[in-house]
Chain A
């Protein structure tokens, strides 16, 4: 139950939200990308969060009760497998034989809202680390 390990929990939250933000920004930046090195249009990505145990390098044991409680990690980044959106644009360099161009499914409004959520989550984790750091400092001050 050491407060020091709680710092790791906050750090894991920051890392996860940051990854989420990165993926969202990538989605938004590639909303109109019709051509990728792998061939075909850009495919949206999504992060999957999963709660994880957090081990501090200074800890030798897991607390029995709080073993299941811990931080978070991105367990997977899933690529959108669905068929791309097809728009009729005969003059487009990536148009197929029928004049259709494959575009990513883009939803910039939703991505923006998600990004704000990731930002808010990130800030909350930063606040958690700050609060815990202060508590540890107070314990140290008891020695003064």
Chain B
């Protein structure tokens, strides 16, 4: 079974992305990040499952599968953009402190 979108199992976010002073066990930012990863994971799994059903001839309509894939793709793209923003914001902050 091949999936067009590989599930994200772990993203290494540098510790210092968290606002200074936030506790190690996560403030709201950490929660938001986890929730986002969950959404990507969930939609990616749904897409894989839909593809499986389609390929095994279980009567899954093609457009249903295509839409599941698109939704997963959009979720992932959005997550990527958000992550990129977070990383560049971190880099900005690091530059400022130098």
Chains A and B touch (C-beta atoms under 8 A apart): yes
A-to-B contact residues, CB < 8 Å: 1-4, 56, 58-61, 63, 136, 138-140, 142-143
Query: B66 an interface residue at 8 Å Cβ cutoff?
Result: yes
B21 within 8 A of A: no
B window 37-82: CB within 8 A of A: 56-63, 66-67, 69-70
Chain B interfacial residues counted at CB < 8 A? 12
Tell me the minimal C-beta distance from A17 to chain B in angstroms: 27
Q: Would you list the 7 A-B pairs with minimal beta carbon distance, nearest first?
A: A139-B63, A59-B57, A139-B62, A60-B57, A142-B66, A58-B57, A2-B59
B62 touches A2 (CB 8 A): yes
> Across the interface, do B70 and A142 meet the contact criterion of CB distance under 8 Å?
yes
**Complex Cα distance A98/B14, Å?**
110
- A143, chain B: closest CB distance, angstroms: 6
Q: Are B67 and A142 in contact (CB under 8 A)?
A: yes
Q: What is the CB-to-nearest-CB distance from B73 to chain A, in angstroms, rounded to a whole number?
A: 9
> Is A136 touching B62 in the complex (CB atoms < 8 A)?
yes
Q: How many A-B residue pairs have CB under 8 A?
A: 36
Contact across chains for A2 and B61 when beta carbons are under 8 A apart: yes
- Say whether B62 contacts A140, CB under 8 Å: yes
Interface centre among A1, A60, A63 (most CB of B within 10 A): A60
Which A-chain residue is minimally distant from B66 (CB atoms)? A142
Interface pairs (5), CB distance under 8 Å: A59-B59, A60-B57, A60-B58, A61-B57, A139-B63
User: Contact at A3–B62, with CB atoms within 8 Å?
Assistant: yes
**Which chain B positions have C-beta within 8 A of A140?**
62, 66
Cα distance, A143 to B63, chains bound together (Å): 9
A9-B94 Cα distance, complex, nearest whole Å: 65
Cα A2 to Cα B62 in complex, Å, equals 8
Whole-angstrom CA separation of A139 from B57 in the bound complex: 17
Q: Which residues on A sit within 8 Å (CB–CB) of B60?
A: 2
Output the nearest chain B residue to A138 by Cβ-Cβ distance: B63
From B59, B61, B70, A143 is in contact (CB under 8 Å) with B70
Shortest Cβ distance from residue A99 to the other chain B in the assembled complex, whole angstroms: 66
CB of B61 within 8 A of CB of A3, answer: yes
Is A1 a contact of B61 with CB atoms below 8 Å?
yes
Q: In whole angstroms, what is the CA distance A143 to B65 when docked? A: 10
